[in-house]
Amino acid sequence: MLENLIALDKELLIYLNNLGSETFDPFWLIITKQLNWLPFFLMLFYFMKKKLSWKKVGIIVLFLAFLILLTDQLTNLVKYSVERLRPCNTEDIKSMIRIVKSSSSFSFFSGHASNSSATMLFLFLILRRYYKHAYLVFIFPLIFAYSRIYLSLHFPGDILVGFVVGIINGTIFYKLFQWVERKYNI
């Protein structure tokens, strides 16, 4: 069963990765860097500050910092326990994919997917109270995570598991935030 999932994961990676072209490579190299998303994050901060007090925004930022810390450490723990090679380093498919970027670290599961989905779910659950189109925050993790497949740095399964972990962590942190919100009336 696991062998079938791994084979399917490789086939899907080969298909999705080969949809790319050299023309779009620079775009996806920009998309994959967290720092390049700073205007998006500043916009989210602006929308939060527009509706919430400085105190509440500060608590949200604190929760986000701990959420990213926990999610990132969990991701690294699993990566270095499983030690799955990245697609760009997987011998049996290297000749079938477009290697746009290389990395020597491990692949399973995607930290880009887990961190972006955790933070955006947490923010969505807060912002949906105030903004009708808060769901648009999910554009970030979807595009951000796809960049990892495009660049040959993650298998689709790495992304999917990263999303699941992120959703679980984002939900847990939101529940904790709600508890703090009620307990301290913020």
Would you list the domain boundaries of the chain?
Answer: 2-183
What is the number of other CB atoms lying within 10 angstroms of the CB of residue 101?
Answer: 16
Q: Sign of the C-alpha dihedral, residues 99, 104, 110, 116?
A: negative
**Residue 186, pLDDT above cutoff 90:** no
Residues of the chain with pLDDT > 70, as a percent, come to: 100
* HSE-up of residue 69 (Cα within 13 Å, Cβ side): 6
pLDDT band at 176 (very low <50, low <70, confident <90, very high): very high
Report phi then psi at 100, rounded to 5: -95, -35
**Residue 68, pLDDT above cutoff 90:** yes
Q: What is the pTM of this model?
A: 0.94
Give dist(CA 149, CA 155) in Å, integer: 6
Would you call 107 exposed, middle or buried from its count of C-beta atoms within 10 A (0-12, 13-18, 19+)?
Answer: buried
Q: What is the mean pLDDT of the chain?
A: 96
Give dist(CA 145, CA 128) in Å, integer: 23
